[in-house]
Amino acid sequence: MKLTRLKTAMLAACAALAFTSTAVAADVKATMIIYLDPSVQFFNPVVKGAQDAAAQFGVDLDVQYANNDPVRQNDLIESATVSGVDGIAVAISSSDAFDASICAAVKAGIIVIGFNNDDLEGAKGNCRQAYVGMNEFASGVELGNRMIEQFGLKEGDVVFNPREIPEASFAVARGGGIEKAMKEKGIKVETVRSGLDPAEAQNIIAQFLIANPTVKALFGTGSVTSTVGAGAIKDAGVNIPFGGFDLAVEIVNAVESGAMFATMDQQPYLQGYYPIAQIALAKKYGLTPTDVDTGQGAFLDKSRISSVKPLIGSYR
């Protein structure tokens, strides 16, 4: 994706302010809504990015968690709207559940920017003014094709792609990308719901692999399945290639050791930083929010993974 002049100007402004150490007085109010709960470590860099942007651009930031409850998430969007915030940054984890509340916020004059998850139809499916995050479908296709090429997956093979929350937009998009790559080669994709509890997910994956010894490869869909996938393969006593998404210490260790082929990094710090920066720039200077693809160059294999390890939990 080529940067527009507006995006170039915005990113330059962000970069310049990133080098300043003095916080700006808060004159913009924003709410960030994360669809899971605080225990999901993936979102720690998202929150850090948002907090850094808030300090640099003068934003009074309130971070809320929906705990994977669409009703609660709608309540949080509506509460932020009623409170009169200037902007809302929200993970659009469903393509349907939040349409009405987000549109109501936009109609009330609030800047709404999606991050991390987007409506599967993008701007056509939701009133949000911009999206900051990975192109998840394209990343699924890329990971699938790289696994096919690296490990000689072929027509008639079966691969396994467990999904934490199968109906969530990230799982539909990433899983759909993997399925597209596999379908083009005549490879079948099996999937199950793994849930968000790591121990339970690892057991579900291991039991599936034991019961289906002809599976030729494993694909993680999100941070949980990608974190526990190598352990599940070991528990099942099989030797198959494994690739996934996101970053965690366990994921980096697995890639470094060769237990995992690669992971697709979506740069979560940027998913927190840019929405809050754009809300401030839109409110203060009338700059139009714009999409930012944080997944460009996201493929991390053994040759690239070690450089990001010290940054996990903060900037990566």
- Residue 313 covered by a domain: no
How many CB atoms neighbour CB 176 within 10 A? 16
Give the pLDDT band (50/70/90) at residue 12: low
> Using an 8 Å Cβ cutoff, are 179 and 189 in contact?
yes
Which pLDDT tens digit goes with each residue over 115-144? 999 999 999 999 999 999 999 999 999 999
Q: Is residue 60 located within the same domain as residue 41?
A: yes
Say yes or no: 259 and 273 in one domain. Answer: no
| Claim to verify: residue 98 and residue 120 sit in the same structural domain | yes
**Full DSSP string of 171-211:** HHHHHHHHHHHHHTTT-EEE--B--S-HHHHHHHHHHHHHH
Does 220 share its domain with 187? Answer: yes
Q: For the chain, what is the domain count? A: 2
Residue at 107 is within a domain: yes
Tens of pLDDT, residues 265-304: 999 999 999 999 999 999 999 999 999 999 987 899 999 9
Binning pLDDT at 50, 70 and 90, where does residue 1 land? very low
Whether residues 212 and 277 fall in one domain: no
Bridge partner list, 218: 160, 242
Average pLDDT of the chain to the nearest whole number: 93
Enclosing domain of residue 284: 5-134+266-296
Proportion of the chain above pLDDT 70, given as a percent: 92
pTM given for the model: 0.87
**DSSP run (H or E) holding 284:** helix 268-285
In a domain, 155, yes or no: yes
CATH of the domain at 43: 3.40.50.2300
161 with 237, same domain: the answer is yes
Whether residue 240 is found in the same domain as residue 180: yes
Determine the pLDDT at residue 25. Answer: 72
* Domain identity same for 83 and 163: no
pLDDT of residue 286: 96
Q: Is residue 315 part of a domain?
A: no
Contact 153, 216 (CB under 8 A): yes
Are 81 and 145 members of one domain?
no
